[in-house]
Chains A and B, each alone.
Chain A
Amino acid sequence: MLTGIAGTLESNDAMITVTPADKLTIEVKSVVDAFYHDQIVKVIKDTLFDSKIANISVMCQDKGALDYTIRARLLTAISRMEEQNG
């Protein structure tokens, strides 16, 4: 199964797992859900858009990561997933 994982569950980090999919699905579990859920989803969507990726399943376990950390971890996960593709 092609999967890319990046990041950790340490404070202020996010562990992001991506797999190829038929459509875009984003799941976010955050320690600051009530306050930043929508913002985190937005950052993920924007990053995917900038990377021109649509058919992907993203799972984000967030421990209070700032926007740029989420973006970085997502980009790393995608790159690792694509590396497995050969």
Chain B
Amino acid sequence: MLNTLGRVVPDTVRGFISATNYQSQERILIPEKAVVDKPLFLGSIKAIFDQYHITDGMTLSFHHHLRNGDQVLNQVCREIQIRGIMNLTIAPSSIFPNNAIIAELIEAGNITNIRTNYINGPAAIPIDQGKLKGLLLMDTHGGRARAIESGDLKIDVAILACPAVDYDGNGSGTEGLSACGTLGYAQSDLRYAAKVILITDTLVNRVKQIDFDGKYVDAIVKIDSIGDPEGIVSGTTKITKDPVGLKIARDAAAFLYQAGVIKPGFSMQTGAGGTSLAVAYQVRKMMIQNQIHGSFASGGTNGYYADMLKEGWIDQIYDVQCFDLDAVKSYRDNPRHLAISASKYGNPFEKDPIVNQLSFVALGATEIDLDFNVNVTTDSLGRLIGGSGGHADTAHGAAVTIITTTLAKARLPIIKERVTAITTPGEDVDVLVTERGIAINPRRTDLIDKMKNSRLTIMTIGELMAISHQISGIPQAIKKPGKVTGLIVYRDGTILDQLYQRL
């Protein structure tokens, strides 16, 4: 059947209705897991399998706070392989290039279903090839929290990497050999999985800052290393030096200023990529020039935001994950750098999630269409390259959602008639900023009105697409896809779109 965005979805599911439909729905909460008196200390990852009888068909969950340096998910996968356990569902909050071993488990049938918010790298290939026997379900960060707390995603065993753990089972993200900062994506797993295991490489008497409440922890395993610090917090992301990206960032900041978004007490989120950081830099320039202080920044944080907090340009940081060591240190040392769970961050059923308090969010896109629907899940050939992460959550919550992108990438226009896959519905996307012009969603008559005297180059998204076609030529249509390999799940559990075999 077709959902309200005109995308084919299975008849057996609830298709996407609207971005605000959740407001008329009740929050569903299953009971929290059993509280644990004293956690068990197990000697190895092997021991988890024996102790908790991990067998065919179970659902195992993980978080991705160790990013591309994670060793825990990989070691668990290795053990699954050795034991020949089959038909598992894995639910890591994200999958990175260093989790290539997942590809082997998919091909062999150890893993038949995957539920995640982001997937990039070799693990995506067998899925694109149609080799996953079940389905890939892709949530948003906030939506995953909803799925877990409502029982949509029932977790048998949550295997959570944790930089430092004490003898009461409390866990910390800021101490230990592989300190990674806040542990926001694991908070729902911690509370609702049937069994919770912490994997650490640093046991201490008492953690200084509790990120995982020990009462939920069934067992602890100490291994030599939970991850490679280089891959976890890879240096500090630098602002892009690309002149075109810088121009886009300048125009995005100018737009926000002229539209009255950057005013005393405003809040922001921009993500951590080179261009996003450039937007943050330009916004900060405006703040300094006009002596405007912000209330908070959220995300995905890094050293740049830690500095803004330190210098007093923003009052608080709400942090769901740390991208670099400076952010980790800031979270550890600065009392105004606060951790939030994925639920508090973006669960639509939370009373007042952080995303709803944002004045603006600046996001990227691999594709955007004439209805302002955005794709960050696949490339233009339909191959998996990412996923919503917080994209659809922040786009809905923020008062102004800005997409910054070049008009074309390696000749290929970003603006399409219809995106290959919908990650974020157009009703939540307000402004597109490219190096050749800015388009405002026609729904936002308020922004159109505010910007009517602006000297920025503002035109319709159709006109921008025409310009890109003039320059690049009109791209050929790609060949029709194969079978359905997965579903893109909106924050409220309804289905936005399907994913297809492309290789």
The answer to whether B31 has its CB under 8 Å from any CB of chain A is no
Contact indicator A63/B410 (Cβ below 8 Å): yes
Chain A: CB-nearest residue to B476: A35
Q: Which residues of A contact B478 (CB under 8 A)?
A: 34-35
Q: Which residues of A contact B479 (CB under 8 A)?
A: 34
The answer to whether A64 has its CB under 8 Å from any CB of chain B is yes
Knowing that A36-B473, A66-B471 are A-B contacts, what are 7 other residue pairs whose CB atoms are under 8 Å apart, sorted by A's residue number?
Answer: A31-B410, A32-B475, A34-B381, A35-B478, A36-B476, A37-B476, A66-B411
Given A34-B381, A35-B478 in contact, is the A67-B412 Cβ separation under 8 Å? no
Least Cβ–Cβ distance between B363 and chain A, in angstroms = 24
Chain B: CB-nearest residue to A42: B473
Chain A, interface size: which category? 10 to 19
**Can you list, as one digit per residue, whether each of A11-43 has a CB less than 8 Å from chain B (1) or not (0)?**
110000000000000000001101111110000
Interface of A toward B, CB cutoff 8 Å: 11-12, 31-32, 34-39, 63-67
The answer to whether B209 has its CB under 8 Å from any CB of chain A is no
Mostly, the B contact residues are: loop
Q: Which residues of B contact A32 (CB under 8 A)?
A: 410-412, 475
Interface of B toward A, CB cutoff 8 Å: 380-381, 410-412, 471-473, 475-476, 478-479
Contact indicator B411/A65 (Cβ below 8 Å): yes
Contact indicator A11/B473 (Cβ below 8 Å): no
| Contacts A/B (CB < 8 Å), 10 sampled | A31-B410, A32-B475, A34-B381, A34-B479, A35-B476, A36-B412, A36-B473, A39-B473, A64-B412, A65-B411
Contact indicator B471/A35 (Cβ below 8 Å): no
Contact indicator A34/B410 (Cβ below 8 Å): no
Chain A: CB-nearest residue to B410: A64
Q: Which residues of B contact A66 (CB under 8 A)?
A: 411, 471-473
Chain B: CB-nearest residue to A43: B473
Chain B: CB-nearest residue to A34: B478
Contact indicator B411/A12 (Cβ below 8 Å): yes
Number of inter-chain CB pairs below 8 Å? 39
Least Cβ–Cβ distance between B79 and chain A, in angstroms = 39
Q: Which residues of A contact B476 (CB under 8 A)?
A: 34-39
Least Cβ–Cβ distance between B380 and chain A, in angstroms = 7
Q: How far is the CA of A58 from the CA of B277 in the complex (A)?
A: 43
Q: Which residues of A contact B380 (CB under 8 A)?
A: 34-35
Given A34-B381, A34-B478, A35-B380 in contact, is the A12-B410 Cβ separation under 8 Å? yes
Q: How far is the CA of A39 from the CA of B472 in the complex (A)?
A: 10
Q: Pick from B380, B381, B411 the residue with the most CB of A within 10 Å.
A: B411
Q: Which residues of B contact A65 (CB under 8 A)?
A: 411
Least Cβ–Cβ distance between A23 and chain B, in angstroms = 26
Contact indicator A36/B381 (Cβ below 8 Å): no
Q: Which residues of B contact A11 (CB under 8 A)?
A: 410
Q: Which residues of A contact B410 (CB under 8 A)?
A: 11-12, 31-32, 63-64
Q: Pick from A31, A32, A37 the residue with the most CB of B within 10 Å.
A: A32
Least Cβ–Cβ distance between A36 and chain B, in angstroms = 6
Least Cβ–Cβ distance between A54 and chain B, in angstroms = 25
Q: Which residues of B contact A31 (CB under 8 A)?
A: 410
Q: Which residues of A contact B412 (CB under 8 A)?
A: 32, 35-36, 64
Contact indicator B473/A67 (Cβ below 8 Å): yes
Nearest first, the 8 A-B pairs at minimum CB distance are A64-B410, A35-B475, A64-B411, A39-B473, A34-B478, A32-B411, A35-B476, A32-B412
Q: Which residues of A contact B473 (CB under 8 A)?
A: 36, 39, 66-67
Q: How far is the CA of A39 from the CA of B476 in the complex (A)?
A: 9
Q: Which residues of B contact A63 (CB under 8 A)?
A: 410
Q: Which residues of A contact B471 (CB under 8 A)?
A: 66
Least Cβ–Cβ distance between A56 and chain B, in angstroms = 23
Q: How far is the CA of A11 from the CA of B412 in the complex (A)?
A: 12
Least Cβ–Cβ distance between A64 and chain B, in angstroms = 4
Q: How far is the CA of A22 from the CA of B472 in the complex (A)?
A: 33
Q: How far is the CA of A65 from the CA of B411 in the complex (A)?
A: 7
Least Cβ–Cβ distance between B482 and chain A, in angstroms = 15
Chain B: CB-nearest residue to A67: B473
Chain B: CB-nearest residue to A69: B411
Q: How far is the CA of A32 from the CA of B478 in the complex (A)?
A: 11
Q: How far is the CA of A36 from the CA of B233 in the complex (A)?
A: 38
Chain A: CB-nearest residue to B474: A39
Chain B: CB-nearest residue to A31: B410
Q: Which residues of B contact A39 (CB under 8 A)?
A: 473, 476
Q: How far is the CA of A11 from the CA of B380 in the complex (A)?
A: 18
Least Cβ–Cβ distance between A85 and chain B, in angstroms = 33
Chain B: CB-nearest residue to A38: B476
Least Cβ–Cβ distance between A15 and chain B, in angstroms = 15
Chain B: CB-nearest residue to A39: B473
Q: How far is the CA of A14 from the CA of B412 in the complex (A)?
A: 15
Least Cβ–Cβ distance between B313 and chain A, in angstroms = 36
Least Cβ–Cβ distance between A63 and chain B, in angstroms = 7
Q: How far is the CA of A66 from the CA of B471 in the complex (A)?
A: 7
Q: Pick from B380, B410, B471, B478 the residue with the most CB of A within 10 Å.
A: B410
Q: Which residues of A contact B472 (CB under 8 A)?
A: 36, 66
Q: How far is the CA of A66 from the CA of B475 in the complex (A)?
A: 12
Q: Which residues of B contact A12 (CB under 8 A)?
A: 410-411
Q: Which residues of A contact B381 (CB under 8 A)?
A: 34
Q: Pick from A11, A12, A35 the residue with the most CB of B within 10 Å.
A: A35
Q: Which residues of A contact B475 (CB under 8 A)?
A: 32, 35-36
Q: How far is the CA of A38 from the CA of B473 in the complex (A)?
A: 11
